[in-house]
Amino acid sequence: MSLPFLRAAGAALILSLSTMPNPVLAGDVVDSHSYANSAEVRTTHIALDLDVDFATSRLKGLAEIRFEKRKADADRMVLDTRALDVRSAEASADGKTWTATSFVLGDDDAVLGRPLTVRLPADATRIRVGYATRPEASGLQWLKAAQTAGKKQPFLFSQSQAIHARSWIPLQDSPAVRATYEARVKTPKGLRAVMSAEMSDAPDAAGRWTFRMPQPIPSYLIAIAVGDLAFQSTGARTGVYAEPATLKAAAWEFADTETTVALCEKLFGPYRWGRYDLLVLPPSFPYGGMENPRLTFVTPTVITGDRQLVSLIAHELAHSWSGNLVTNATWEDFWLNEGFTEYLTFRLTEAQFGQARGDMERVIGVADLKTDMGLAKSDEDRKLKRAFPSKDPDEVFSSIPYQRGALFLVYLESKFGRDVFDTFLRGWFDSHAFQSATSEQFLAYLDEQLIKAKPGVVTQAQIDAWVTQPQLPADAVYASSDALTQVDAARAAWLGGKAPIAAMGATSWTVQQWEHFFEGFPKTATAAQLKELDRTFKLTGSGNAIIAGAWYKLAVDSGQVAMVLPAMTEYLGRVGRMKLVSPIYRALAATDAGRAQAKALYAKLGAGYHPIAQQAVERIINGG
Ligand SMILES: [Zn+2]
């Protein structure tokens, strides 16, 4: 997933293990966020046969789960579900003859949903569940035509990470469980279905699109979207799916994707997924991007017409190694996905655009990290590896696993040297390809391959300081960026009355420099200064969603919300990317009057947000 946003917005999240419902074994790994009995019966393949019904906002159909018994006498399979209407369960030995079998849905938990326990006849090799999703499925968003770019057809998309796949498929929803999958998806005429898999180019006579993912993936990478979608190729292995109204601009913005894939292969080893396509979603997509294999889902807010935000694509592409190929085994090991991916993204940015650009992004990353270290509700949230699980992975989402994780790898690189560290990293990916790994497994590999193999370089205490201690180690290695230092100097000179606004040189700034400009802006600026800023750079209503969002937040922080309110309201009603929307709500919620205003805005606009974004904003405005 791209770039954090929630700033540890959660309320009290400290739960003792004893209050977690049924921590169960997922293979050798305890996954507190899944009911699955995957140590006994483990999914190997999922086959979906679904109808997409926009009239009722439901997916309806069958999910077939093939499995291997890891315990010979296992007589039940436990799946994760959330808000699913389950109508039938059948079992089969050969996939041809099916017989009804009994099933029971357990108690509903607000975070985990309900376990679905299906009885297994002794000879069963697969089960099949008949079900329908509900309109409120947390992993799906059903958009009306008016919420799309084209305004003519409805749109559906999924976001399964972290534990939302269970809201649209009954399955063993743990990243420790990997399975191949196939699907048949029937859509209304004129609409195209796409998934994170090999895809058919056209529907069959019955209107069904077919899909096949031949590599075993964790459940959170199963993804679907349906809409008025067109495709444009950008290279031999790459292309863009988008609504026709967005396609041309998207294909231009992401024209260099093929080059980036080739560069990744040079740095990190072979790309093992066949194609790498992008799907541009409507603006309510709650994240920057989601690394669904073969088909990254991406927010349209990175289409800025100047290719300045393509590092987001680099991040999602890098997940093809860290995350998709080698996967965090539980959500407590999230830094193995995101810290590695941020590190790889810095390396890619540096190789593609030079060291100055790479350093600029590292400095911005550290600024995000320090903000979130300050906002974190507990020391557990500041560590790479928590001592005990969080209740809800969405609630503790922050930049800490991303940026602290990346800084840890930067530290190791600085100690062992780039050549040695690159060989080590590549060895990690190759030796753990298509496997899920815990932090402990990574640390054991690190110990064996580097720490012990090259004694006297890094101590165990130094490793512990990074992983299991709350504060950032004093010997962390930080980058510096001249481009950002210049922004700081320009801002200070203008605000201090020492230079005119034109002398800032801001017309040639990159988006990253603008972000930094706003990030370091004091809340004490006068209304006249803000007005001059807006007048000079036409910030209100800016077509660049990153710059516009940062400007509205600054206006709120400075007590000048009236200056931007109509444009800000339009923005909050159109954009649903949490990294952009949450900070504005949080800035409003900092005062009593602002909180009331935030609640009024949310009451008006919240229905258009993705369910995950709704939860995040509700936590903010309700004092989380
Ligand atoms: Zn990510």
Q: Give residue 251's pLDDT band: very low, low, confident or very high (50, 70, 90).
A: very high
Other residues' Cβ atoms within 10 Å of the Cβ of residue 448: 10
Q: For 89-127, what is the HEC assignment?
A: EEEECCCCCCEECCEEECCCECCCEEEEEEECCCCCCEE
How confident is the prediction for the chain on average, in pLDDT?
93
* CATH class of the domain comprising 521-621: mainly alpha
pLDDT at 4 over 50: no
The overall longest dimension of the chain from CA atoms, in Å, is: 82
Q: Give residue 2's pLDDT band: very low, low, confident or very high (50, 70, 90).
A: low
Residue pair 180/213 in contact by the 8 Å Cβ criterion? yes
257-268 vs 311-318: helix crossing angle, rounded to 10? 50
Q: Give residue 311's pLDDT band: very low, low, confident or very high (50, 70, 90).
A: confident
Other residues' Cβ atoms within 10 Å of the Cβ of residue 143: 23
d(CA 291, ligand 1 centre) in Å: 7
Residue pair 86/131 in contact by the 8 Å Cβ criterion? yes
d(CA 298, ligand 1 centre) in Å: 12
Distance in angstroms (rounded) separating the CA atoms of residues 286 and 299: 8
Distance in angstroms (rounded) separating the CA atoms of residues 390 and 15: 7
Which pLDDT does position 367 carry in this prediction?
93
- CATH 2.60.40.1730 describes domain 25-228: yes
Peptide bond into 249 cis (omega under 30): no
Q: Give residue 45's pLDDT band: very low, low, confident or very high (50, 70, 90).
A: very high
Which pLDDT does position 310 carry in this prediction?
87
d(CA 318, ligand 1 centre) in Å: 8
Two tokens at 609?
A: 């947000």
* Mean per-residue pLDDT, 565-569: 98
Q: In 3-state terms, what secondary structure has residue 583?
A: helix
Which pLDDT does position 12 carry in this prediction?
30
- Active site (catalytic) residues: 316, 402
Which pLDDT does position 29 carry in this prediction?
84
Which pLDDT tens digit goes with each residue over 511-564? 999 999 999 899 889 999 999 999 999 999 999 999 999 999 999 999 999 999
Which pLDDT tens digit goes with each residue over 344-367? 999 999 999 999 999 999 999 999
Which pLDDT does position 24 carry in this prediction?
41
d(CA 514, ligand 1 centre) in Å: 23
Which pLDDT does position 1 carry in this prediction?
72
Which pLDDT tens digit goes with each residue over 175-191? 999 999 999 999 999 99
Which pLDDT does position 624 carry in this prediction?
60
- Beta strands 192-195 and 198-199, pairing class: unpaired
Residue pair 297/290 in contact by the 8 Å Cβ criterion? yes
pLDDT at 3 over 70: no
d(CA 346, ligand 1 centre) in Å: 13
Residues of the chain with CATH 1.10.390.10: 326-467
* Percent of the chain at pLDDT exceeding 70: 96
Nearest of 70, 290, 326 to residue 162 by alpha carbon: 290
Residues of the chain with CATH 1.25.40.320: 521-621
**Topology, domain 326-467:** Neutral Protease; domain 2 (1.10.390)
**CA-angle at 22, arms to 47 and 379, nearest 5°:** 105
Q: In 3-state terms, what secondary structure has residue 25?
A: strand
* Percent of the chain at pLDDT exceeding 90: 90
* Mean per-residue pLDDT, 48-69: 98
Nearest of 122, 162, 133, 117 to residue 50 by alpha carbon: 133
Strand partners, 240: 232, 278
Assign residue 387 a region (left: φ > 0; alpha: ψ between -120 and 50; beta: otherwise). Answer: alpha
In one-letter notation, the amino acid at residue 258 is E
- The H-assigned helical ranges of 376-504 are 379-382, 405-416, 418-431, 439-446, 460-467, 482-495
Two tokens at 104?
A: 């029971």
pLDDT at 20 over 90: no
Which pLDDT does position 308 carry in this prediction?
86
d(CA 117, ligand 1 centre) in Å: 32
pLDDT at 224 over 50: yes
Q: Give residue 28's pLDDT band: very low, low, confident or very high (50, 70, 90).
A: low
More reliable by pLDDT, 309 or 51: 51
Distance in angstroms (rounded) separating the CA atoms of residues 481 and 517: 13
| 487-511 residues labelled b (16+ CB within 10 A) or e (exposed) | beebbeebbeeeeebeebebeebeb
Residues of the chain with CATH 2.60.40.1730: 25-228
Other residues' Cβ atoms within 10 Å of the Cβ of residue 16: 7
Two tokens at 16?
A: 């003792």
Residue pair 256/307 in contact by the 8 Å Cβ criterion? yes
Other residues' Cβ atoms within 10 Å of the Cβ of residue 121: 12
Two tokens at 623?
A: 């004092």
Distances (CA, A) of 331 to 162, 338, 513, 538: 8, 11, 33, 42
d(CA 49, ligand 1 centre) in Å: 29
